[in-house]
Structure 1
Amino acid sequence: MKIDLLGLEAFVGVAELASFTRAAEHLNLSQTAISHRVKKLEGSLGVQLFRRSHRDVVLTDDGATLLPKIKSMLAGMDAELERVRTQAVAKRQKLTLACLPTIAMDLLPQALRIFDAEHADVTVSVVDTSASEIGALVASGSVEFGLTIVAAGNHDLVTEALFSEDYVAVCPADHALAKRKQITWGDLVKEKLIRVNPQTANRFIVDQALGNRSETPNWAYEVQHTLTAFRLVREGLGLTIMPRSAVDALNDRAVAILPLSRPRISRTIGILSRRNVALSPLARDLCAAFKRKR
């Protein structure tokens, strides 16, 4: 005899609520459907489970004997199914990494698309934060690796360079400089400029490249995030300096991208990991995906 789970569920519902109508509502079924399930179960068992009247639904002796056993069996099945589900969730592998917000705009989604094609069952946790925070997270082992700006720092960490890119000027598409193929820092002297705060690696790189001229430009606005600076440019409040890949990722026709020289400023992005600590196979696969996109 096959176990009729739907019939057993209907039987318990009617028995506990003492009503076919209320049981049907509770199980989101029609009264006809639940009556059919109970009758089918009774036919399979060869016994009557309920005595029906216009007012009441009462368990027969056979029904009363069967009820606690069926409830226990169904509860056991629910518990076992939940155990299997919990184990399945626990078995899902997890990979945690950190990256710069500007990398999260462009390179990260591309690499994750490649990674997901081979590891759809892996949960990936991304901490998009500053370069200094990435270094601390990698050093502490809170993340397996980071995508950040290559720079001298902690000797317990090692960086593998991926690519280098220039910083460019970004201006509104209708700005007087927008049609230029290239500009110099001298062209920006009379322009309102927007920069990010001194705690960011991008700000440090620009200031270091400009040297004692870092305060010469007209820095009219200072913001926390590169994306905020970009939004201010769109509103016509000034120009900003951004890594080329970040501007490309935004793909916004409301702005123009201007190669910038004298001085030309660039940064190198790399994979930061702990020295003498091997990356997990999953981390190695994701790093390989980053390399494929660059």
Structure 2
Amino acid sequence: MSTTLRQLRAFVLVAEQNSFTKAAESLCLTQSALSGLIKELEQNLDVKLFDRTTRKLHLSDAGARLLPQARRVLNEVSVLNEKVNNLKSLHQGHVRLAVSQQLSASTMPKFIAKFCELHPNIQVTLTDCSVDDVVRHIENLEADLGIAPERFYGDDLHVDTLFSSPFYLVLPSTHAFAKKEAVQWEDLLSQRLITLNGPFIKGLQNELPAHISNRIFSSDFEVNFLSTALGMTRMGLGITLCLLYAAEWVEQNGLVMRPITSPIVERKFLLYTHKNRSLAPAALAFKEFLINNAHEFLVSSPSTA
């Protein structure tokens, strides 16, 4: 029979109170039940823990030597239970996020700051990376949650749709199109275009008429980051495309946005998790926070100035 925590608690309490009667009362046990626990522990350890006389109870030499260790075991279990309770009650924890670069630079800081206000004892770390790397980080269990546009993913991953956004045209407020409530893809044919490399734009090739997609894929400038495209647009080198979540970023550059129609083309943004990994309470709380507040990715209405 293995030693149990119940036996160790009985041993420590009898030793501290130097009395079976008092210890039994503290543990809400009968004296015979308490004596049974001590005997079981002595049998398991194959040592005598107490020397008993008709009048006094003393720790044996072995009992005195083992008492500090028994206390340490009970203290460690107490610390373990406290940590578990703290994790469950979100008083501790760590969330690792992998987020696509544009979201990391625009909207995600707001979500992290708001979550940390609600749960100040939870640590949140952010890895900003390419969309493909977001999926890789989740597949390799290097992050708890991944947020990025829709991409191909394997059977090991689970996804939740956070939000969808149509494409918007970004331009200076002095541009002729700024007077329009919306523009059409056809309108872009005569304009100097600044486009982003990668799947963000590549998907348009199959979603737009050939003559429009051909123009987009022979743009005047191709850049890697939206921040670069916005800076070039601000300097009058052309106009560019973005999604609605970047509205605040656009306004910070003194630019305006107009929805592009005929047709309306949208991009889905997904929350990636690993099917074979249970989320810790802190990560689960952040996931629920994101899903419940996903509409705030699109709350910044584009400037109509």
TM-score (structure 2 length as normaliser): 0.61
Map 1:184-223 to 2 at 5 A.
Answer: 184-198=184-198, 201-210=199-208, 212-213=210-211, 214-217=213-216, 219-223=219-223
The whole-number CA distance in structure 2 between the counterparts of 1:270 and 1:155 is 15
Confirm or deny that 1:99 pairs with 2:90. Answer: no
SS at 1:219 equivalent: coil
- Runs of at least 5 residues in structure 2 that lack an aligned partner in the other structure: 1-90, 296-305
Residue matched to 1:116: 116
1:247-286 CA-partner distances (Å, limit 9, x unpaired): 3344337212111012211111121011232211111111
Greater mean alpha carbon deviation, residues 113-122 or residues 125-134 = 113-122
SS at 1:103 equivalent: helix
Residue matched to 1:289: 289
Question: How far 1:99 moved relative to its partner?
Answer: 0.7
The whole-number CA distance in structure 1 between the counterparts of 2:103 and 2:153 is 20
Q: Give the AA of the match of 1:216.
A: R
Residue matched to 2:244: 244
Residue matched to 1:256: 256
Question: How far 1:155 moved relative to its partner?
Answer: 1.6
SS at 2:190 equivalent: coil
Map 1:86-235 to 2 at 5 A.
Answer: 93-198=93-198, 201-210=199-208, 212-213=210-211, 214-217=213-216, 219-235=219-235
SS at 1:177 equivalent: helix
Residue matched to 2:280: 280
Question: How far 1:193 moved relative to its partner?
Answer: 0.4
SS at 1:189 equivalent: helix
The whole-number CA distance in structure 1 between the counterparts of 2:206 and 2:130 is 18
The whole-number CA distance in structure 1 between the counterparts of 2:291 and 2:130 is 21
Structure 1 residues 254 and 118, CA gap change in structure 2 (3 angstroms): closer
Structure 1 residues 125 and 107, CA gap change in structure 2 (3 angstroms): same
Does the 8 A contact of 2:169 with 2:240 survive in 1? yes
The whole-number CA distance in structure 2 between the counterparts of 1:115 and 1:256 is 29
SS at 2:121 equivalent: coil
1:81-134 CA-partner distances (Å, limit 9, x unpaired): xxxxxxxxxx97432111112222443223212321233233221111111110
Structure 1 residues 208 and 125, CA gap change in structure 2 (3 angstroms): farther
Structure 1 residues 143 and 237, CA gap change in structure 2 (3 angstroms): same
Question: How far 1:169 moved relative to its partner?
Answer: 0.6
The whole-number CA distance in structure 2 between the counterparts of 1:176 and 1:271 is 38
> Runs of 4 or more off by more than 3 Å in structure 1?
none
Question: How far 1:148 moved relative to its partner?
Answer: 1.1
The whole-number CA distance in structure 1 between the counterparts of 2:97 and 2:206 is 28
Q: Give the AA of the match of 1:204.
A: K
The number of residue pairs the alignment matches comes to: 202
Structure 1 residues 280 and 208, CA gap change in structure 2 (3 angstroms): farther
TM-score (structure 1 length as normaliser): 0.64
Residue matched to 2:78: none
- Aligned identity (percent) is 22
The whole-number CA distance in structure 2 between the counterparts of 1:129 and 1:283 is 19
SS at 2:108 equivalent: helix
Question: How far 1:147 moved relative to its partner?
Answer: 0.6
Question: How far 1:145 moved relative to its partner?
Answer: 1.3
Provide the aligned C-alpha RMSD in A: 2.0
